[in-house]
Amino acid sequence: MSPRHTSRAVYSTDLGRLCPQCQRAVSDCVCGKGRPASAGDGVVRIRRETKGRGGKAVTVVADIPEHPDKLKAICKQLKQRCGVGGAVKGDHIELQGDQRMICQSLLVAMGYQVKLSGG
């Protein structure tokens, strides 16, 4: 007899991506609304953007694996630490100016794995 495998499905061609907890399609998940919109690979990415902003630099913090309500609290902490304005737009945080290094140090202190992306 072969040993029992403890693997689980991650993707199904019938349903698409599956929830890791309840093993249902992500659109039919019953785990509750407290889960993050998307966990991704668990790495928070920080990038600087100027495109479509009249040449003004904006720091974008993306892929934070948290609930949208928690994103607002994180955004508030980042804005206070950097001394700039900003907002939560969808599932990412936008801060005015080039604040990548300050955001990186604060997010690492909060326990997130952070990467600076882009040039």
Task: Read off the pTM.
Answer: 0.67
Provide the number of structural domains found in the chain: 2
In-domain check, residue 3:
no
Residue span of the structural domain in which 15 resides: 8-33
**Residue 24: its pLDDT value, please?**
73
- 43's CB contacts (< 8 A; 6+ apart) are 63, 113, 114, 115
- Specify whether 44 is located in the same domain as 16: no
- Specify whether 51 is located in the same domain as 27: no
pLDDT in tens, the chain (119 residues): 555 556 665 655 666 777 777 777 777 776 765 555 555 677 899 999 998 888 899 999 998 888 888 899 999 999 999 999 999 998 899 999 999 999 999 999 999 999 998 76
In-domain check, residue 2:
no
Contact of 58 with 48, CB cutoff 8 Å: yes
**Residue 94: its pLDDT value, please?**
95
Alpha helical stretches, state H, 15-118 = 68-82, 100-109
- Specify whether 42 is located in the same domain as 71: yes
- 103: CATH: 3.30.780.10
